[in-house]
């Protein structure tokens, strides 16, 4: 059960409700905004940051989604693990690629660039101080510095907001597998996922 109050679309600030198109989206798609909406001025800032990362992205959506899902596993954010974004699917994300995240370094489904990005995201989520010159040297073989900055900002969003979401335990709208009792370690691979816009 969610630990904080989730607002209904009618309870959201009208400007925020319009901005997230709450009347067109399912409760799952409305996501964290149903809680953060209690502070609409803060919700606007988060939307602007996340929106800028998406609108001005130069990284492939498939790659960003693979990193997001690997970070979600380490965060144990159930809603993050259960969701697949439509733009990533349109960019070639498959459940086979998602399943390869169980052992990304061994995967034939991932490109070398995707493996490097996923490894960076994993370190960001588990041992950020291990991200050293060698990690950045590997990233530079696949990405420009501008893309590395974008990757880092995405990881910051995924780790921070994902951990926050995990503590809020928003699971009611998720597929049954993601509603398992707390303490049960879940993964984004091998479970039913929900596609959102």
Q: Is the pLDDT at 78 greater than 90, yes or no? A: yes
pLDDT of res. 13: 97
pLDDT of res. 182: 87
pLDDT of res. 1: 84
193 close to 96: Cβ distance less than 8 angstroms? no
Q: Is the pLDDT at 57 greater than 90, yes or no? A: yes
Q: Is the pLDDT at 60 greater than 90, yes or no? A: yes
pLDDT of res. 35: 97
pLDDT of res. 135: 98
For the record, the structure tokens of 7 come out as 């607002």
Tell me the C-alpha to C-alpha distance, in Å, between residue 142 and each of 63, 91, 139: 12, 18, 6
Mean pLDDT along residues 66-90:
97
pLDDT of res. 2: 92
Distance between CA 34 and CA 145 in Å, rounded?
35
Query: In order of start, what are the domains of the chain with their CATH numbers?
Result: 1-56 (no CATH), 59-168+177-196 (1.20.1290.10)
pLDDT confidence tier of residue 172, bands split at 50, 70 and 90: very high
Which of 30-39, 84-93, 119-128, 184-193 is predicted with the least confidence, judged by mean pLDDT? 184-193
HEC profile of the chain: CCCCCCCCHHHCCHHHHHHCCHHHCCHHHHCCHHHHCCCHHHHHHHHHHHHHHHHCCCCCHHHHHHHHHHHHHHHCCHHHHHEEEHHHHHCCCCHHHHHHHHCHHHCCCCCHHHHHHHHHHHHHHHCHHHCCHHHHHHHHCCCCHHHHHHHHHHHHHHHHHHHHHHHHCCCCCCCHHHHCCCCCCCCCCCCCCEEEC
For the record, the structure tokens of 34 come out as 């149903």
- Mean pLDDT of all residues belonging to the chain: 96
pLDDT of res. 192: 84
For the record, the structure tokens of 174 come out as 């998720």
Reported as a single tens digit per residue, the pLDDT across 88-147 is: 999 999 999 999 999 999 999 999 999 999 999 999 999 999 999 999 999 999 999 999
What's the alpha-carbon Rg for the chain, to the nearest Å?
A: 17
Q: Is the pLDDT at 51 greater than 90, yes or no? A: yes
Packed helices 40-55 and 145-168: angle between N→C axes, nearest 10 degrees: 140
Distance between CA 98 and CA 31 in Å, rounded?
22
């Amino acid at each position: 059960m969610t630990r904080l109050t989730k607002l209904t679309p009618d309870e959201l600030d009208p400007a925020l409700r319009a901005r997230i198109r709450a009347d067109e989206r399912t409760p799952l798609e409305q996501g964290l905004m149903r809680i953060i909406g209690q502070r609409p001025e803060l919700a606007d800032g988060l939307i602007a940051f996340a929106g800028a990362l998406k609108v001005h992205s130069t990284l492939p959506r498939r790659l960003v989604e693979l990193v997001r899902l690997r970070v979600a596993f380490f965060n144990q954010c159930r809603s993050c693990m259960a969701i697949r974004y439509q733009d990533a699917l349109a960019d070639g994300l498959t459940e086979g690629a998602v399943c390869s995240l169980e052992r990304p370094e061994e995967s034939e489904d991932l490109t070398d660039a995707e493996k490097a990005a996923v490894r960076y995201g994993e370190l960001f989520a588990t041992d950020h101080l291990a991200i050293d010159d060698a990690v950045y040297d590997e990233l530079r073989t696949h990405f420009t510095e501008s893309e590395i900055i974008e990757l880092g900002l995405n990881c910051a969003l995924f780790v921070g907001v994902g951990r926050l979401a995990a503590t809020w335990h928003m699971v009611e709208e998720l597929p049954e597998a993601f509603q398992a009792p707390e303490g049960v370690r879940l993964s984004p691979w091998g479970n039913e996922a929900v596609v959102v816009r």
